[in-house]
Structure 1
């Protein structure tokens, strides 16, 4: 009986986690926020669930000599689950728009197996333990074929409505994106015509190092007006290599892109973000003071550390730590000296395990 109690608890706990995983997938689909990285992590969780769950169920079936018809049902369902998940993994990984098919199957499995056959099996074992034969236990436990149909159908209808709404929003976004693309083409034409084309990094779509040097040099040569200063923040993720080693190269590009989003949302509207090189970003802040630039640096460090979007890449088990070198320019100075100063300060900020800035 101790064997049964242990295995039964593990089976029920695993099914509870399965339901939570499916609920999370449903919310992300409804909010149109499912990423390829999250999808791959989900399939990994499902593979672990099925491997451990099926092994425990098969052990408990053998231990209690479950009636053959019940055994046949479990064996058929297990084969179906593995086959369908392999097909869906290939299909959905290539096209996220097919993820609703995955959710439909997972809800069906939850209805028929998690809330159905698994519970029936545990009830049969309880009856066998009380003196019933496996056949008697099988005949005493039956599932109404429509037991959870109404609930499942209602959930699917609600999800379909949410997905339809998001498709409508997506169409609106496509129109906005088309308008933006047209404006970008017009800007590109003007830049080419007047010889001031901006050079951009392909991955991040940010102005690159070459453009940053041009813009800094232009600010220096034009001089800084009034008593304001030109602020430069050279930024790196201090534990970047450690995070990639711990969570895999899959997070590399997404980590940089989500960090860029934090920087854009934290800095001011006239500040400009540049991609300098691997794990190095620059923010050019016109009309800055020491107080304002320190405030921005503190916010960047705090917002990055507490970002749910970034921390979800690490399954909320770690966080990204920013290091920032700050240079304030209020007079004419050679470009190479500016770059050396801010680079030296970044290296000083990187000297340690904590997120910090050096000014």
Structure 2
């Protein structure tokens, strides 16, 4: 019985790491075959499996951390990655001792490993590989980290699925231990809360732009999909402002990415401070933002767009050899009979943005 079959979805294109992952897959497959066979695992065999696992972890984690150090990977990822290594070692050791003491069956250890390999390879390691690839292409570690956040959607879904499976198995294990030893009740409660916090953090990260702390494109799409399910009323409906920072590329290219990031963060804060609490502000990527408002109309959204434009126009940022005078172009649109889907609404606002740029920038366009 093969629990995992190696395929290209596991490949990180870091040869040493991929070879070690194959070793892990083979090790877990052998463990699964033994656990689910009719013969009971002996303590000696279990000791051998855990000894091999410990050896793998020691070598594999060391090599990953060497790679992160050699490529000077952003410390945000390094810290999270090393924390994951430490948490795995601690949890595996706890489960191993519980199995040896007959508090839980070996299948609980197997389920932990099965979920962990999905998190480790499909999530953490593939994100690391993407960052290293960007760094090799000439990006700074910080920009590599931020760039990966823009494309992380393709890895988040399987990662969250694996995390939820891990939580489910661990919670079941904790309930069994609690029934055998009532003194562990508070520890179980604390552990469950900790795991739920991690789960909530992962979900928040999947919907948040790491630079501006606004919602990201994924969050904007989720918001629009939810709003589109509501009954349509052309008097008060969902409206959209598409915003593009004027001359951002020039600042970013000539003054450096740190200066570009400063512009993005200040503009993001100014937009957020200019809207209602009910309005949803997101960074779609690059220098493009969107403001989504429900229960509004075109008259309101035109006034809001002008208010945002005026607030931004008061900003003046001085850089080593240039100045950015606050200027944005905006396109507005509302849901109507011509917008059959939320994609149509975004396209309509984008067309308005194009008109604003064609007309000279620092103004509002509407089609």
TM-score (norm 2): 0.42
Q: Which has the larger radius of gyration?
A: 1
Structure number with greater CO (CA < 8 Å, separation at least 6) is 1
